[in-house]
Amino acid sequence: MKRYNLKMFRIMQDLTQQDIAQKLGISKSHYVSIEQGTQDPSFKLLEQFAEVFTINDIWELMKKGK
């Protein structure tokens, strides 16, 4: 299952996968695997994501869609 909330956030912010990967300091392929749900991010990476994008509820981004 893909993580639709994460993808929707990226699209709503008009960011590419590469843009987010650069902001987080990870490779694009690592970010893509997180967005697609094939790899889980570390808690540290989730914290970085929340800081970079000032998101209050990071767990909402990680919910898996149908």
User: Angle 52-17-39 (CA atoms, 0-180°, nearest 5)?
Assistant: 85
Beta strands in the chain (DSSP E): none
Helix (H) or strand (E) holding 63: none
pLDDT tens per residue, range 4-37: 678 888 888 899 999 999 999 999 999 999 988 8
**pTM, to two decimals:** 0.76
Helix (H) or strand (E) holding 1: none
Q: Is the CB of residue 27 less than 8 Å from the CB of residue 41?
A: no
The predicted structure's pLDDT at residue 66: 47
The predicted structure's pLDDT at residue 65: 52
The predicted structure's pLDDT at residue 13: 84
Q: Is the CB of residue 37 less than 8 Å from the CB of residue 3?
A: yes
Q: Is residue 1 predicted with pLDDT exceeding 60?
A: no
